[in-house]
Every structure is written in structure tokens, then in C-alpha cells.
Structure 1
Amino acid sequence: MLIINIHPTETAWSFVDDTASTCSIHHYSKPIPMETIRQESRILYLISPGQNDLQLAPEEQRTVSQQAPHIQTIFRDCLRANPRADHRLLSENRFYQNLPPLSTRYALPADLATRFQRAGRDALTHQWAWIKAKSILPEVKSLISIHLNSAPNAVAIKNGQPVDLSAGFSQMDGLPGFHSCGEIDPSLCLTLSEKGEPPAAIEHLLAAQSGLSSVSPELASFSQIFEQPESLASKVLSHQLKKTIGGMASALNALEAIVFSGEITPALTAWLVDLLEPLTAFGFIPTSTISCESITRLNSPASRIQVFLMEDTPWKIAYEMFSQAQPLQS
């Protein structure tokens, strides 16, 4: 299968064979060779939003779409080169289209509230987490999906639809990232501006020079947060995740399951067991043995709360989501 990942500023493509193994992702600035397209029986177009695309009003989203002729060109060229292939379209924006206003609305005047809204990230990963969890636990009606990467975020999902999210208008809001500040008092930006800091410098400070790496400068990577649980950054992230889980459980009126997605390591699984310890008061029972596999169960069979850690491999997620994608017709 050929996966064409289309970003606003660049396009990447990769091959995935029928055994779900893949070559490395190749970035290119020129069109994919037509001979490559003709040889594939399945082609998946993955549309990834640019920064703040999700926060735009519907009429502004249409304008952005109209200003992206390169997307239409890729569709047309591939369909013409291989009309017999199964062409499918997967847009990350679609998962968040029906978010309820109570989870996206900021307490701003109406003219601003329609332009600036909370928006989700990593839509494909969260949707995939829901589908995988349902395949294991068909009876589950709601879950909390937590994506653990350098910009961690969480989504509450009920009956397959997101109903709450931790992310905000930009990459800087929500949970603290490894280099981004996360939720802060907005008056800090005003104070910095009053002291003469230009907007670009403030943005760089909050988006690239803050976050968990500034809380614990001795940590060289996001994964070291889990390897050094006594670090302040590790404790800060744990505290914020506990608050997020509690709030989302309230939004769902239930706490049936939690799915963590990320790179599975022994350090991470042990860190998550400690993170979840307060949930024992609500019926969570950790498993006595943990094996690091592509899907790791962190609860015992008697637990009232199901918890999984799923290996997050972007190309594999796209491969498994092919059946969910919209057929693309000429």
C-alpha cells in the first residue's frame, strides 16, 4: 500500500506491504514517480492539518481548502495514473468536526469566540486508539485516550465521538510539552509584552524554550521523564495527567477505560502504574505482571477500569485505518 501524507507545506510518502512492514518515509519536493503509483493496488491519502487549521471558522476552512491546489493536483495525477487502484482519503480534521461547543468554546466575546476555539491534535492516533480498544473490549462505550509524545494531549471519547479534549487553540495550550509551556495565565504574555518583548520572542519562549525540559534541564529527551520518575518534570507531568483524567472522567460520567499511546518501554509502563495508583480507590487493580508488547494491558482481569498501553507507530496506524478511509472517486 502507498501512503501519501499531505501537509500544507510538504508531502511525504511511504510503502507498507501486506504484512504491515514498511520502508522508511521518503520526503520529496517533486511529484511521486508515476511508475510508483501504477504499481500499487491501494493508495491512502492522509491529509494532515497545518497549525491552527482546526481552529478556523467553517467559512475560513473552506477558503484554506480552496487555496491548496496541490492537494487536488495529487488526487488527479494519482487517479489518472492508476484508475484501477483502491484510492482512499483520510482527513485528520474529520474526527473533531462534531466536538460539542462546551468543550471548544473560550469565554470570549462572540466575535472572537467563533474565531478562536479549542482544537484537538493527533486525531488519527486517538481515533485508532478507540477502534483498537473496541476490538478488544466491545462492551466499552467510553474511554480516555492519552497520546504520550513531546506534546502530550488527551481526548475523551464516547461512542466513537470526541466529547472533550485537553488541547487548546495552539500547540502551547493544554498539557505541558517537552519544550512548550502548556496552560499558563495569559497575563504572563501581557507582562512580557509590557517589558518590551516582541510577540515573536514571546512565542519562541513559550513554544520552544519552556515546558518540561525547562522544569528539569538535566533531561535530554521526553522519554527520560519516565526513566527519572524523581525528577520535577516527571512529577509535574504526572500531576497534570491525573487532573486531566479526573476531569475527563467527569465529562464522560464514567471511567471505563484509558488508552495510552506512545513508545512502549519498561520505564514507561512502570511510570504509568505509579500514575494510576490513585485510581485504585475507584476500582482499578493493576496487573501483577507486565510484558512489553505492541498492546500492553496494565490492569488485572478483576479491575473495574481497563487500561492499555499501545505502541504508537504512525505508518502502522495509517495502514490499519485504511478500511475507515473514504473511497476517492474520479
Structure 2
Amino acid sequence: MRPADILGIGVLASVWGTNFLLVEEALEGLNPIQIVLIRLILGAAALLLLARARRTALPRGGAVWLKLAGMGLLGQAVPWLLFAWGQQEVTGALAGVYTGLTPLMTVPVAWLLLRERPTAAEVGAAVIGFAGLAVVLAPWSGGERAPLGGQLLCLAGATCYALAYSYAGRLMRTLADGKLSLAAAQALAASAIMLPAGSGQLAHPVRLTWLIALCLALLGAGTAVAFLVNYWLIARVGPVRASLAFYLIPVVAVVAGLAARGERLNPNEALGSALILAALAALYVWERTREARPAPVPEPAETR
């Protein structure tokens, strides 16, 4: 990967990792559906304004919009809602750790849904990662662990991300539109679907402070940036390498939670997080080793 690609991955990890802290602050005055709707609408508005300023046309054709709507729901609206619900019970730092499971979740997802047989290294990394998940969930512990319901919601959100990334690679190969056009259309389609479903929630009482308003504005701006950078990365390096951003999200989320809110992981969460990070590191090293391995040279054909 080139330096620009690594920078893009760092931007994604920073935006997504700090989003958990922003959502946690916003939950002090709004409910999860309100947060997701505002986040989607602000992100879509920013992307549409940028597309208009650059005279970029939106995609045409109902089939394209249907695919982008599915991607927006699976990759943004639904997991954001699941994580926001989960964060009513668990910390943003722990929610960020669950997001780090996404690259590991793609292994069983690709095998079960796409019929892509995993390698031994991928299976090994997934086993270590899911062992870490079991330690984080810690069903054998008493009051030390975070509420199981909130953790399962975060796990479901990570599964949505894995499904979305598995789908994104195929989707990008079938669409010829530019990255800004696709990002704006996806955000708009997801907003259009979520708005009727959750519009009644917008009328519910909110407690809006300057801090909460700032968090919502940053969530909207971050949504626009993440949409653009994500499409840009997938087009340049493919969905597998683009998902490397998820390897860094747990670190960013834990550091942000500790710095801003003094959040600390309990012993089970810390040990489980270490296992998940070890699995991610093993998977990353294996991928780099495979990339560096020279391609076999075909033997010359025999002449008679």
C-alpha cells in the first residue's frame, strides 16, 4: 500500500474510533434513533453540498439506488443503531473493541454466504479472536462484566459491518460511478429509508447542550468524511485492505474513552481485548507475508 492509502486507513480509524465517544456524549440528551437519524441526515447533506459544488451527478437507475440503499442500511444505519442501543449499557471503549471483531467476522461470513474457503491462518486468527470475545462476554463472571444485552447488540453491529464489507467488494466491481457520487447517493438512500421509520422519534423531547450539539455536528461531518474515504479506499486497495481500519478502531476508542471520560476496561475486557488485538495482528502479518511472497514462476514447456 502507498502512504496515501495508509493515511486514509488512519483517518477512517480516527473518525470511527472517536465516534463511540461522541455517541456516548450524545446519549446524555437524545435516544439512539434520534442520534442515527441526525447523523445520517447531516452526513448526507454535507455530501450532497460537496457533490453540487463539484458538479457531480448522482447515479441513475433504480437498480443502482436499490444496491446503495442496501449498502447504506447494512453498513451504516442498522449497525449505528445497534451500537447506539448497546452503548446505553456498555462504554464507548468496549463498543470500539467489538468493532475490531469486524475483520474476523468476515471469515465465517465469506465462507457461509460467499462460499469463499478461508485459509488456515484466517481460521486460526478467527479462533483466537472469538476466544477473546468469549472472555469479554465472560458469562461465568458475576457483577464484573458489562450487561450481556448491550454486548450482544454491539456484536450484532460488528456482524453487520462484516456483511457490508463482504458485499462492498462485489458492489464496487459492478458500479462505474465516481466515489463522491456513490457516497452521496448511499447516504441519501439510507436517510430516506430511515426517516419515515424513525421520524416519530424526532418529536420526542431532547436535552440539547452545547456539548451535545457539537458531538452531533462532529458525527455528521465524520459521517461524510468516512463515506468518502471508505469508497476511495475500497476502489484503490479493495475491501479486505480497506477493512484494516477496523484493526485500529479498538485502540482509538479505548484511548479516547480513557482520555475524555476516564473509562477503563475491567480485567476480563482487557484480557479479551488483548486476544482480539493479537488475532488482528496475526491476520495482518499473514496478509503482509502473503503479499510479499513472490509469485511462482511457471516452468518452461518442454520442447521435443
TM over 0.5: no
Greater relative CO (CA pairs within 8 A, separation 6+): 2
Normalised-by-shorter TM-score class: under 0.3
Specify which structure has the higher proportion of strand: 1
Higher helix share: 2
Q: Give the alignment's TM-score, normalised by structure 1.
A: 0.24
